[in-house]
């Protein structure tokens, strides 16, 4: 089977593994990049779990709330310099204000409505511009947070105390949870991680019984890394986010986090 250099390059960017290891993994898994990622992890060749779901681009995040609506947008460009240009910032603010006013539901609608503006901006700035991500939350008590236009967060809860909710939003910005709680993690994600951890444990020569016990511990660590409520709270690491929320009678309903260039594959 022929493996393209572009596919090898993509796998290298994701896993930080060597060229030959990437090529071998792709050949072994017949070009399936997700299966190749798992193969490299099991072999201890993948160095970056957190980079499996990300790629790097330049740009800015824009978000805004009004009453019971919150919207968030990512606009990308080629250089950090352009992301700070007034024309670029005005373009993002124009879109986010329109999306909030019209309660736009999806990215495609925004892309279609602003494609002419985007092409005009490309001619002004001399760089490719892409409207890449968009999200909307509708419901009571939505808080927004923006960190230097590089990271944006929307949080929906049952709390009117936006100072407390800002702390939660800041935690989300810094700790990058992928899911609200363990119950919200898709079953296929859990099965995939359990299989990886079990294979890694069995390779050390431990018995099936011991390996399963080890996997249980590793899965708890996995939950604390990717589910918001199980993470150590960044302002008080002795507590989990879940404990902090209980102390303040806060129920989190949903959240969205965007980071410039971060993308779920």
Residue-level pLDDT at 265: 39
In whole angstroms, what is the distance from residue 58 CA to residue 85 CA? Answer: 12
DSSP H helical ranges for 103-250: 107-113, 115-125, 162-175, 187-202, 208-226, 241-247
Other CB atoms within 10 A of residue 264 CB:
8
- C-alpha to C-alpha distance for 154 and 38, rounded to whole angstroms: 31
Confirm if 130 and 92 have CB atoms less than 8 A apart.
no
74's torsion region: left (phi>0), alpha (psi -120 to 50) or beta? beta
Beta carbons of 90 and 62 less than 8 angstroms apart: no
Residues composing the chain: 265
Q: Which domains does the chain have, with CATH numbers?
A: 5-51 (1.10.8.10), 58-180+244-259 (3.30.479.20)
Q: Are 91 and 77 in contact (CB under 8 A)?
A: no
pLDDT for residue 37: 83
Query: Tokens at residue 193, please?
Result: 């991680």
Q: Which residues pair with 75 in a beta bridge?
A: 60, 131
Q: pLDDT tens digits, the chain, 265 residues: what are they?
A: 888 988 888 788 767 788 898 999 999 999 998 888 888 878 776 654 444 443 337 999 999 999 899 999 999 998 899 999 999 999 999 999 999 999 999 999 999 999 889 878 877 887 888 899 999 999 989 999 999 999 999 999 998 898 999 999 999 999 999 999 999 999 998 888 888 888 887 777 777 777 777 878 888 888 888 999 999 999 999 999 999 999 999 999 999 999 998 864 3
- C-alpha distance from residue 193 to each of 51, 53, 121, 207 (Å): 15, 14, 43, 19
The residues pairing with 63 across neighbouring beta strands, listed in sequence order, are 72
Q: How far apart are alpha carbons 178 and 264 in whole angstroms?
A: 10
């Amino acid at each position: 089977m022929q493996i393209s250099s572009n596919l090898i390059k993509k796998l290298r960017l994701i896993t930080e593994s060597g060229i030959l290891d990437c090529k071998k993994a792709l050949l072994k898994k017949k070009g399936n990049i997700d299966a190749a990622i798992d193969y490299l992890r099991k072999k201890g060749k993948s160095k970056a779990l957190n980079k499996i779901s990300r790629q790097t681009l330049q740009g800015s995040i824009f978000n805004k709330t009004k009453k019971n609506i919150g919207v968030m947008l990512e606009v990308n460009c080629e250089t950090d310099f352009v992301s700070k240009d007034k024309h670029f910032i005005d373009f993002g603010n124009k879109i986010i204000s329109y999306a909030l006013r019209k309660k736009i539901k999806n990215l495609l609608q925004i892309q279609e409505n602003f494609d002419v503006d985007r092409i005009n901006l490309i001619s002004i700035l001399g760089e490719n511009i892409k409207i890449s991500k968009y999200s909307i939350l509708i419901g009571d008590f939505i808080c927004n947070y923006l960190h230097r236009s590089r990271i944006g967060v929307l949080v929906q809860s049952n709390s009117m105390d936006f100072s407390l909710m800002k702390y939660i939003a800041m935690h989300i910005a810094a700790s990058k949870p992928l899911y609200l709680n363990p119950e919200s993690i898709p079953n296929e994600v859990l099965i995939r991680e359990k299989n990886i951890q079990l294979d890694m444990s069995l390779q050390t020569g431990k018995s099936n019984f011991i390996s399963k016990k080890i996997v249980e511990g590793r899965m708890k660590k996995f939950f604390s890394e990717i589910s918001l409520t199980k993470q150590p709270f960044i302002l008080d690491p002795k507590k989990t986010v879940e404990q902090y929320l209980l102390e303040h009678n806060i129920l989190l309903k949903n959240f969205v986090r965007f980071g410039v260039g971060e993308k779920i594959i």
